[in-house]
């Protein structure tokens, strides 16, 4: 499922890549950039706060490099020199949409934010959430991709931003081997949730290969246990019935069983059982009215 | 003791005979008859359905008009969103007016996702089916165990009251646009309203403890209630109706609230102040509200408790998706747990709590059901009954039929 998210099969929405200091998610982000650039008629805008343009372009597909627009906020993020191309204070819906309008119109526009952690240090989280939601809904951008260093923020802040994401990938180093583990969660438009945990590696050409599915240790144990046990193998007593024994068993009427014969015997008393004989007396006060008159019988 | 009563009864006998009986049929004509409402069995309050029949049962029959239901969202807001839509769909089917507020999606988008109602009874004959199956003459090899009890009525797992109230919905289909458009709906989409408000008066609202978003929402609700006459300003001759207010994901960051983001939010009173205002509005009008909140994001527990206290009914959903509980065999039939945090005390000192606190929910295609959680029979070899004693005891409460069986001992006796 990691590959599906990276290839953008389900278009649109907000994809969040979460990493920690133990394993950087930037390679994964670059891999996403690369696949996005390979698609025709797609323009990618990058708001770069943490890497220079050269570093970001390094390794990316050269043929489609002109469709990548880098907005440099790395050299002067706070606008101290007064001629900064992009500052952190410009992270508003209006400023971003004017940025997007400067380039020729395309079918699909992807906005990559590298990284959200930088912006979160200069804006209140609620404002960023609103901006992201507005970008997602606005229509000018098809997909918003953000990198977030989760160990830099409070749990609630990370949770709030993750709450907005339509897909989020959490990367962590694998305990043994060279690969990394990616936990992918995707929410479809109907509200269905899909989760997956995969071990992956990224090669020099920035293509992602999924090595194996991360197996849950708890589940695999259950499967092995079941095949071994056969409790009926060596028994000191007989569990099977022979035909005569079964016949005898079926003949036996169990107590408290309300069979059909028993029921009919109770309802229709046969000959020889008792009956009530009653002859009306002259003094009898016989009520002509039907006592159940008011009932719908 | 019997004698004095009899002697007292005699002189009044004549009077009674002309009156036939002291029992009187309770006439509903005294109450305002509004479609989709009925008086509560417990306290006579006018109640409406939440749209989920078993949820109605859990919270004591239904939502009383003028009260506030809080739903604590599950982690990915999938099931709470479902409940939200059920609530609105029930309003559409009953012909109530709707008020939808959201900061995330356009109200019209939410309305387009409403599930389609099942107007003929399809869901009801199910329990009968399962009962007949269990009573079938068993095949030859089947063991007859506890045949004494086979004629006993089955314990009903799904919670539902005996009489029909509310409707069932088919989640896989969306509601027919014709039915949907028949209902009158007022929408509030925060991004549209906040922009107009900031241009008007940024300084005036700075003084109040309520944040800008909340105060504009409250003003808008108040305006709708006054304009449409839900507060009783309309003369009695006009037919009355219920306003269903649904507020989605209140307290999330999209409402401009930092409750979710920090442990000590700056405007921690904003939401509680809003809820006080909303409650006051609801109490004095013919309206009922459902609020969902992403409580798993809210860091400050005491604040969440305060919010719960301000609502009348509060339930919490806990989805198994994405948590380690998904693999626990006890939970394999269910989609999540449902906690009843609070039930209202209306005109009485005690409220009726559900008899079992362990509730689980599952979402089927045609029904959202809440059931009592019970332990399936454990068939594995190495079972330590002692360890599971607490859970097994809880399950026995719900099933009276096999209480003696589990209580016996841990080995099979031949």
Average pLDDT over residues B101-113: 89
Q: Position of tokens 């990058």?
A: A46
Band (pLDDT 50/70/90 cuts) for residue B376 is low
* Ranges A114-123, B220-229, B235-244, B333-342: which has the least confidence: B235-244
Listed by number, the residues of chain A in 198-227 with a beta carbon closer than 8 Å to a beta carbon of chain B are 216, 218-219
Structure tokens at A133: 């939601």
In contact, B318 and B339? CB cutoff 8 Å:
yes
Chain B nearest CA to A229, separation (Å)? 9
pLDDT at A135 over 80: yes
Compute the distance between CA of residue B340 and CA of residue B353 in angstroms, rounded to an integer: 9
Q: How far is B183 from chain A (nearest CA, A)?
A: 23
- Look at residue B292 and tell me whether its pLDDT is greater than 70: yes
Is the confidence at residue B141, as pLDDT, over 70? no
In the predicted model, what is the mean pLDDT of chain B? Answer: 75
Beta partners for residue B244, in sequence order: B98, B288
Question: Mean pLDDT throughout A250-265?
Answer: 77
Q: Which of A66-80, A263-277, B72-86 has the lowest mean pLDDT?
A: A263-277
At residue B124, the pLDDT reads: 44
Are residues A181 and A175 in contact, defined by beta-carbon separation less than 8 angstroms? Answer: no
| pLDDT reported for residue A77 | 86
Block residue for tokens 């079926």: A250
CB B65 within 8 A of CB B46: yes
Other residues' Cβ atoms within 10 Å of the Cβ of residue B80: 26
ipTM of model over 0.90: no
Check B147 against A256: CB less than 8 A apart: yes
Which of B20, B104, B260, B317 would you mutate first to test chain A, the one with the most A CBs within 10 A? B260
May I ask the CATH class of domain B33-119+153-397?
Answer: alpha beta
Question: pLDDT for B300-316, tens place per residue?
Answer: 888 899 999 999 999 99
Is the pLDDT assigned to residue B386 strictly greater than 70? no
Chain A residues with CB under 8 Å of B381 CB are 229, 231
Q: Which has the minimum average pLDDT: A51-65, A264-278, B33-47, B254-268?
A: A264-278
> Which residues lie below 8 Å from residue A118, measured CB to CB, with a gap of 6+?
A49, A50, A77, A88
- Domain range summary for chain B, segments of one domain joined by +: 33-119+153-397
Is the pLDDT assigned to residue B26 strictly greater than 80? no
CATH topology of domain A2-170: Rossmann fold (3.40.50)
Q: What is the mean pLDDT of residues A51-63?
A: 86
Alpha-carbon distance of A199 to A174, in angstroms, equals 8
Chain B contact for A150, CB < 8 A?
no
The confidence band for B244, taking pLDDT boundaries of 50, 70 and 90, is very high
Distance from CA of A275 to the nearest CA of B (A): 30
Q: Is the pLDDT of residue B88 over 90?
A: yes
More confident residue, A201 or A266: A201
pLDDT of residue A88: 87
* pLDDT confidence tier of residue B32, bands split at 50, 70 and 90: low
Q: Which residue has the higher pLDDT, B413 or A199?
A: A199
Most confident of A232-246, B13-27, B296-310, B337-351: B296-310
Chain A with chain B: Cβ pairs closer than 8 A? 83
Helices and strands (DSSP H and E) totals, chain A: 10, 9
Q: What is the largest CA-CA distance in chain B?
A: 84
Of B82, B261, B327, the CB nearest to A157: B261
| CA B158 vs CA A172, A243, B99, B336, B367: distances in Å | 42, 43, 31, 14, 11
For residue B322, give the nearest of A125, A130, A193 by CB distance. A193
Locate B395 and state its tokens: 């399950």
Judged against a pLDDT cut of 60, whether residue A219 lies above it is answered with no
Of B84-88, B130-134, B211-215, B223-227, where does mean pLDDT reach its minimum?
A: B130-134
Which regions of B132-182 does DSSP assign to beta strands (E)?
A: 168-174
Which residues contact residue B412 at a Cβ distance below 8 angstroms, ignoring those fewer than 6 apart?
none
Beta bridge partners of B340: B315
Cβ distance B414 to A192 less than 8 Å, yes or no, reads: no
pLDDT value at A111 more than 60: yes
Over residues B280-298, mean pLDDT: 91
Rounded Cα–Cα distance for residues A185 and A120 (Å) = 23
* Model pLDDT, residue B396: 37
Dihedrals φ, ψ of A114, to 5°?
Answer: -130, 95
Domain boundaries along the sequence of chain A: 2-170
Flag whether pLDDT at B123 surpasses 70: no
Q: Is A152 on the interface with B (CB under 8 A)?
A: no
Cβ-count burial A208-235 (b if 16+ within 10 Å, e if not): beeeeeeeeeeeeeeeeeeeeeeeeeee
Distance, CA of B172 to CA of B85 (rounded, Å): 13
Chain segment A138-189, per-residue pLDDT in tens: 778 888 999 999 999 988 889 999 988 989 999 998 877 777 889 998 888 7
pLDDT band at B281 (very low <50, low <70, confident <90, very high): very high
Cα B53 to the center of its chain, rounded Å: 8
A228 pLDDT tier (thresholds 50, 70, 90): low
% of chain B exceeding 90 in pLDDT: 22
Percent of chain B with pLDDT over 70: 66
CA distance B381 to chain A (A): 9
Q: Lowest mean pLDDT of A134-138, B123-127, B157-161, name the range.
A: B123-127
Asked if the C-beta of A191 comes within 8 angstroms of chain B's C-beta atoms, the answer is yes
Q: Is the pLDDT of residue B168 over 80?
A: yes
Q: How far is B349 from B367, CA to CA, in rounded Å?
A: 33
């Amino acid at each position: 499922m990691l590959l599906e998210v990276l290839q953008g099969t389900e278009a649109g929405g907000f994809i969040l890549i979460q990493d920690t200091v133990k394993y950087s998610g930037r390679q994964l982000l670059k891999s996403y950039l690369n696949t996005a650039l390979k698609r025709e008629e797609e323009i990618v805008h990058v708001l770069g706060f943490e890497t220079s343009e050269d570093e970001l372009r390094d390794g990316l597909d050269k043929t489609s490099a002109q469709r990548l627009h880098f907005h440099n906020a790395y050299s002067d993020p706070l606008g101290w020199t007064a001629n900064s191309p992009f500052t952190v204070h410009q992270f508003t819906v209006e400023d971003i949409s004017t940025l997007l309008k400067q380039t020729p119109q395309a079918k699909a526009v992807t906005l990559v934010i590298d990284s959200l952690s930088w912006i979160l240090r200069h804006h209140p989280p609620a404002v960023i959430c609103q901006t992201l939601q507005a970008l997602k809904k606005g229509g000018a951008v098809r997909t918003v991709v953000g990198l977030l260093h989760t160990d830099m923020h409070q749990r609630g802040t990370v949770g709030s931003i993750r709450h907005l994401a339509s897909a989020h990938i959490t990367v962590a180093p694998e305990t043994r081997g060279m690969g990394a583990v990616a936990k992918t969660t995707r929410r479809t438009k109907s509200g269905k949730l899909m989760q997956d945990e995969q071990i992956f590696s990224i090669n020099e050409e920035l293509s992602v290969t999924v090595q194996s599915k991360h197996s849950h240790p708890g589940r695999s144990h259950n499967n092995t246990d079941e095949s071994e046990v056969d409790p009926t193998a060596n028994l000191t007593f007989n569990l099977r019935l022979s035909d005569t024994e079964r016949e005898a068993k079926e003949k036996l009427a169990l107590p408290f069983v309300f069979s059909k014969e028993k029921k009919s015997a109770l309802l229709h008393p046969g000959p020889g059982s008792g009956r009530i004989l009653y002859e009306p007396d002259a003094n009898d006060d016989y009520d002509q009215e039907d006592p159940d008159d008011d009932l719908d019988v | 003791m019997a004698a004095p009563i009899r002697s007292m009864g005699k002189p009044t006998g004549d009077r009674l005979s002309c009156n036939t009986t002291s029992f009187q049929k309770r006439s509903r004509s005294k109450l305002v008859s509004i479609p989709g409402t009925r008086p509560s069995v417990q306290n006579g309050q006018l109640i409406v359905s939440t749209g989920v029949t078993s949820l109605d049962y859990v919270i004591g029959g239904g939502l009383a008009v003028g009260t506030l239901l809080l739903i604590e969202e599950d982690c990915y807001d999938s099931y709470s969103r479902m409940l939200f839509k059920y609530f609105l769909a029930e309003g559409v089917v009953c012909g109530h007016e709707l008020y939808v507020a959201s900061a995330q999606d356009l109200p019209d988008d939410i309305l387009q996702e409403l599930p389609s109602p099942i107007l003929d009874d399809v869901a009801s004959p199910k329990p009968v089916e399962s009962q007949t199956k269990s009573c079938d003459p068993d095949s030859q090899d089947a063991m007859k165990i506890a045949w004494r009890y086979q004629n006993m009525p089955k314990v009903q797992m799904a919670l539902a009251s005996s009489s029909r109230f509310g409707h069932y919905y088919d989640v896989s289909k969306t509601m027919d646009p014709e039915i949907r458009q028949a209902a009158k709906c007022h929408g509030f989409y925060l991004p549209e309203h906040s922009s107009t408000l900031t241009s008007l008066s940024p300084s005036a609202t700075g003084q109040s403890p309520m944040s800008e978003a909340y105060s504009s929402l409250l003003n808008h609700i108040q305006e709708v209630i006054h304009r449409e006459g839900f507060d009783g300003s309309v003369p009695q001759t006009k037919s009355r109706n219920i306003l269903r207010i649904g507020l989605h994901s209140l307290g999330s960051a999209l409402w401009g609230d930092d409750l979710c983001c920090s442990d000590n939010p700056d405007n921690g009173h904003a939401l509680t102040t809003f809820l006080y205002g909303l409650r006051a509005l609801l109490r004095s009008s013919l309206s009922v509200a459902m609020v969902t909140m992403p409580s798993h994001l809210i860091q400050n527990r005491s604040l969440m408790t305060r919010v719960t206290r301000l609502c009348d009914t509060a339930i919490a959903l806990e989805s198994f998706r994405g948590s380690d509980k998904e693999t626990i065999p006890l939970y394999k039939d269910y989609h999540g747990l449902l906690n009843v945090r609070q039930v209202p005390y209306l005109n009485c000192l005690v409220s009726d709590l559900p008899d079992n606190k362990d509730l689980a929910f599952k979402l089927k295609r045609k029904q959202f059901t809440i059931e009592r959680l019970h332990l399936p029979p454990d068939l594995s070899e190495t079972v330590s009954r002692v360890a599971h004693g607490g859970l097994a005891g809880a399950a026995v409460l719900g099933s009276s039929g096999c209480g003696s069986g589990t209580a016996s001992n841990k080995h099979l006796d031949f």
